[in-house]
Structure 1
Amino acid sequence: MKYRMILLLCLLFFSLNTLTACSQEKTMTDTTNEIFQIIAKQNLSELEHWLAKSPNLELKNQKGETPLMAATYLNQVPMAKLLIAAGANVNTQDGMLNSPFLYAGASGYLEIVKLCLKAGADYQVFNRYNGTALIPACEKGHVAVVEELLKDKTYPINHINRLG
């Protein structure tokens, strides 16, 4: 009898969590869904049309990603360029504590790194390991990104992340 009660409570708990997650997904606005669908389709003309409406560039999806972060994950340089030109923040972090600048540096996306640097990349915004863009760029051998970051003599080259 105890086993059945525990099993029933577990099933009830799982069902409630699933319903909560589903209801949270439905709270995203049509505008939020629209922009992330445009980015997923990598449709530059639709993005231009969306930007012409003067939207909120800091909308976030369920992962905490902004439109610029979503475009950066796809290495969509033309989209990133449009979003940054429209005023998207290159330092906004998502749920994984990635920002467009940090992720582009870690992934070797040199063109997006350059765009982020011109748009005011903040060297005091750190990733989930409390690290800068330079650390994973070095680790992964993204030499061009490392060279670009080191052009700025104020870049914190001696920063140590929590991994040491």
Structure 2
Amino acid sequence: MITSEEQFIMFTFSRINHVDNSGQCACIHAAVNGHLDTLVYLLQCDWSVYEGQVTKVEAMQQSFIVAAAKGHKGICEYLLHCNRNIRESFGLDVVDTLLGETPLTAACLNGRKEIVRWLLDREASPETTNLKSLSPLLCAVEAGKWELVDLLLFLGFSIEQTDKHCRTPLMIAAYKGHIRVLEMLLSRGASIHKTDKEGLTALCWGCLKGHLHIIQSLLDRGSHLHHADRCGRSPLQLAALHGDAQVVQYLIDQGAQIEHADLNGMRALDHAIDRRNTAVVVSFLRKGAKLGQMTWAFAAGKPDVILLLLNKLMKDGNVLYRKNRTKEAAQRYQYALKKFPQEDFGDDYKTFNEVKLNLVLNLSRCKRKMNDCEGAIELATKALQLKPKCFEA
């Protein structure tokens, strides 16, 4: 009776170097599943008589990488042993054409500690990077394999090595949200103040991705809350871009400067409005963020955001009025009416008219209190024109 493995061999023999839709030949499938006998048989065949999409050496290198990724040490040993005479095209530090990895980076990405030790014992380079310019250590960090990161640092890998963007392991851990890796790197002395090519620190990356636990840990260690990157953006502004209201509120509570402007003149509130992160906009408005020209420019075409801004101005005016600061209250109402948009609001038409009516009535009340009877009458007349529209079906 023919076994399933023999059926597999019979099926692939006639197309031994043919690849499937994912670019994998039969050897790769054997290596992925740990079928050493099948892989040995396939490689012993004469590949030169077949026309296909992958060479035998390529198939061997690809098989080596996937075996390292899967933790199949026996396959790795076989491939390295039987090919010691062709190291110029196959070996420990070659990046394969399928995954773009070296055996060591593939093992690190998948947390294969035994394979990593085995490769390093055979002098695999700790510095050779994959196609993404990630070294073995950076691969382990990106994958969140904290035990493997700890091992590599113990073996002497540099804790401040960088990728092509000058990102350190700590930055990558912050970017990915890997708190255990981050805590371990910090305990080993990783610098919290280093910056990448864009001027971003580890704290900046944590804010940009909205990782509250990462941010808390870095601030507890003394990360600079008011750092500015090459574009002048603060961690708070980067958090506003991401849109996590809890992170933004935490940074505000820690003393982040809400009025800081980047090199383009944008503040954190403006970034939040630009991304339409309304929950974050509310946080800034509650804190008393100022409304500048750029704020209204970014709010244009966003009815939900415009309503937030108008209601904030009206609430500020109401507070001032109750404190008998009538003139200042009137200025808030007037400013809101000046910024009131003219476009058609569609489904929000009734809501906008109600807001406008309230602003007009409140301003009329201020005018009366300030003995501006003519202004009060003019506003009362305008209110009568608006009132019917607010109750239309």
CA contact (8 A) 2:144 2:178 kept: yes
1:30 aligns with 2:98: no
For 2:163, the equivalent position in structure 1 comes to: 94
Match of 1:74 among 130, 143, 155: 143
Q: 1:59-108: per-residue Cα shift (whole Å, max 9, x none)?
A: 33343321110112222222212112222222211123322110111221
**Residue 150 of structure 1: CA displacement?**
1.5
Distance 1:141 1:28, change over 3 A: farther
CA contact (8 A) 1:65 1:94 kept: yes
For 2:108, the equivalent position in structure 1 comes to: 39
Matched position secondary structure for 1:145? helix
**Residue 139 of structure 1: CA displacement?**
3.2
1:122 aligns with 2:191: yes
Distance 2:201 2:88 in 1: 33
**Residue 158 of structure 1: CA displacement?**
2.1
Distance 1:89 1:150 in 2: 24
* AA at the equivalent of 2:143: L
1:112 aligns with 2:181: yes
CA contact (8 A) 1:51 1:86 kept: no
Matched position secondary structure for 2:92? helix
Distance 1:29 1:99, change over 3 A: farther
Moved more, 76-85 or 35-44: 35-44
Distance 1:134 1:68, change over 3 A: same
Match of 1:147 among 212, 216, 224: 216
**Residue 109 of structure 1: CA displacement?**
0.7
Unaligned runs of 5+ in 1: 1-25
**Residue 133 of structure 1: CA displacement?**
0.8
CA contact (8 A) 2:170 2:192 kept: no
Tell me the TM-score normalised to structure 1 length.
0.69
Distance 1:127 1:49 in 2: 33
Unaligned runs of 5+ in 2: 1-86, 94-101, 234-393
CA contact (8 A) 2:199 2:229 kept: yes
1:160 aligns with 2:228: yes
Distance 1:109 1:81 in 2: 14
Match of 1:138 among 207, 210, 226: 207
* AA at the equivalent of 1:159: H
Distance 1:138 1:157 in 2: 10
CA contact (8 A) 2:159 2:169 kept: yes
Distance 2:121 2:88 in 1: 24
CA contact (8 A) 2:160 2:169 kept: yes
Distance 1:61 1:52, change over 3 A: same
Identity %: 20
How many residue pairs are counted as aligned between the two chains? 138
CA contact (8 A) 1:102 1:132 kept: yes
**Residue 41 of structure 1: CA displacement?**
4.4
Distance 2:175 2:92 in 1: 30
CA contact (8 A) 1:108 1:145 kept: yes
Distance 2:89 2:108 in 1: 16
Distance 2:89 2:186 in 1: 31
Distance 1:29 1:65, change over 3 A: farther
* AA at the equivalent of 1:30: G
Distance 1:41 1:113, change over 3 A: closer
**Residue 113 of structure 1: CA displacement?**
0.7
CA contact (8 A) 2:110 2:143 kept: no
